[in-house]
Amino acid sequence: MLTVVAFIVALGLLIAVHEYGHYRVAVACGVKVLRFSVGFGKTLVRWKPRRQRPGQDTEFVIGAFPLGGYVKMLDEREGPVPPEERHLAFNTQPVRTRAAIVAAGPAANLLLAVLLYAGVNWYGVREPRAIIASPVAGSLAQQAGLRGGEHVQQAGFEGEALQPVQSFEDLRWLLTRGALDSRDVRLAVSLREQGSTREVTLPLGQLQVQEADAQLFRRVGILGPWTQPVIGEVMAGAAAARAGLRQGDLVLAVGSTPIVDGQQLREMIRAQVREGRAETSTWRIEREGRSLELQVTPDVMTDGSGSFGRIGAYVGSPPAFTEVRSGPLEGLWKGAVRTWEVSVLTVRMMGRMIIGQASLKNLSGPLTIADYAGKSASLGLTQYIIFLALISVSLGVLNLLPLPVLDGGHLMYYLWEAVTGRSVSDAWMERLQRGGVAVLLVMMSIALFNDVTRLFG
């Protein structure tokens, strides 16, 4: 139920903001708006404000089907217009006015994203500190000399100045952008916050990433923040319980290998399976100040990538957290920067998908959006707001694509008209509309297929 409610609220808000952008600029430019609708299909609610601007008589509607909306303006191409109102019609406006009205929808979504990100920055959010866990064996992080426990003080792309890293989420976002953009990342790290720093370079440019999936960070080698190698809740009857492990046990070594953190321990447990059979190892643990040795044999689990070990207990303590909060101007600036970065990354990924350098699996549809809406809402208001900001950026960028059925396509028409001095002919308009609908249907089909595969495959 939470997923459905979170999804409907997200769609309703983002669509309403998008259409309000069109509506508000149209009214400001003196164009008569006949209807403002959020949703399609059967009308659920209909009203007209008593006080409206001169020349306006707008009907506001909420439809039963929330996947869209529209702003209907007075237009000679859609019906007869009284001579005395011709100056209020959309089609009689200068090119710059029509372009401003069309661009206002995506711009409203991008502005909303800036404000949502800024709101999170102003309110503050608890995030894990940028202390990295033990890197995956053979990964880029391990090859670069990282061992786990390093505190990332600053980071940046190769050739650019290093910037302070406030949390692990800042680091994760930088690594994601670097991997998808094939850009190397430099890290200034220290083993202690007050200690001397050293610089390492992660050559992410050699990854040739086509898809932003769970395997991306395994290849980079940085999966999560540092945690103590402590055993948490133990499931009855599982491998941990059979071996005698208890909640609160601190794991010091597995065999002859000292354990640095929870991530290293999890990786070792997964690797304790050879040719489908679990291997028994000696664990040295600390319990209530005493050192003990236990024989642990993990349970064998399988997935699409093969067999791996699992002990049936939570491994690793909660990471150290920090409160990330910004002042009014700094928070607004960070919101604008994050919106720009997400927009640029979205455009680049779309371009790479078109030329075949990125997988079409990156396209997501309504099922995935609904799933993420529910998950983010369950994590709290802050995470839900961040989710709304991300989807708002995606909606704004998508509508600016140069497809005839989208706002970006109409902006292309107006660019042609501004350059040539004549509008696109009706015949060409019809052909382009058909082509745009076909492309959009293909994209929607791929996105829906990815949704079903991702959620049920």
Contacts of 79 (CB under 8 A, 6+ apart): none
CA distance 191 to 399: 46
Name the token pair of 361: 């699996």
Residues belonging to the chain: 457
How does strand 198-202 pair with strand 185-190? antiparallel
CB 155 within 8 A of CB 187: yes
CB 402 within 8 A of CB 354: no
Smallest CA-to-CA distance from 317 within 386, 233, 388, 421 is with 233
DSSP single-letter state for residue 403: -
Q: Is 19 a catalytic residue?
A: yes
Phi, psi for 209 (deg, rounded to 5): -75, 135
CA distance 132 to 318: 13
CA distances from 174 to 84, 190, 217, 243 (A): 57, 18, 12, 41
Catalytic-labelled residue, pool 19, 127, 150, 267 = 19
CA distance 299 to 293: 19
CA distance 284 to 253: 5
Task: List active site positions.
Answer: 19
